Amino acid sequence: MARLPRFILPDQPQHVILRDNNRTEIFCVEADYRFYLDKLRLACQKHGCDIHAYVLMTNHVHLLITPHKEQSLSKALQMLGRYYVQFFNHCYRRTGTLWEGRYNNL
């Protein structure tokens, strides 16, 4: 069964939560946080999102982000996820997914 499309209103702030898979760490050292934030900034610039606030916990992320187009948020998070998972898996010699499915937005 196909996933239902998300209901996104452009120019309205979204609270996004990204959780790790199996409650493992997604940030182990300071360089992990810096890489994630750098790629978050690049992804948001490329896909038209404004970041208002973020909280990076060791095993999950909270973002307050405003997409300017209907697909902006999903495209930005997809780009960010691809960069970060590849980086994390390479650094820690692991394979597979890092995230617990799609992001949640409240």
pLDDT in tens, the chain (106 residues): 666 666 778 899 999 999 888 888 999 999 999 999 999 999 999 999 999 999 999 999 999 999 999 999 999 999 999 999 999 999 999 998 887 766 666 5
What is the pTM (predicted TM-score) of this model?
A: 0.88
For the CA atoms of 88, 101, 45, 85, what is the dihedral angle to 10 degrees?
Answer: 10
Cα 86 to Cα 65: distance, rounded to the nearest angstrom: 23
The CA-CA-CA angle for residues 16, 80, 49, to 5°, reads: 60
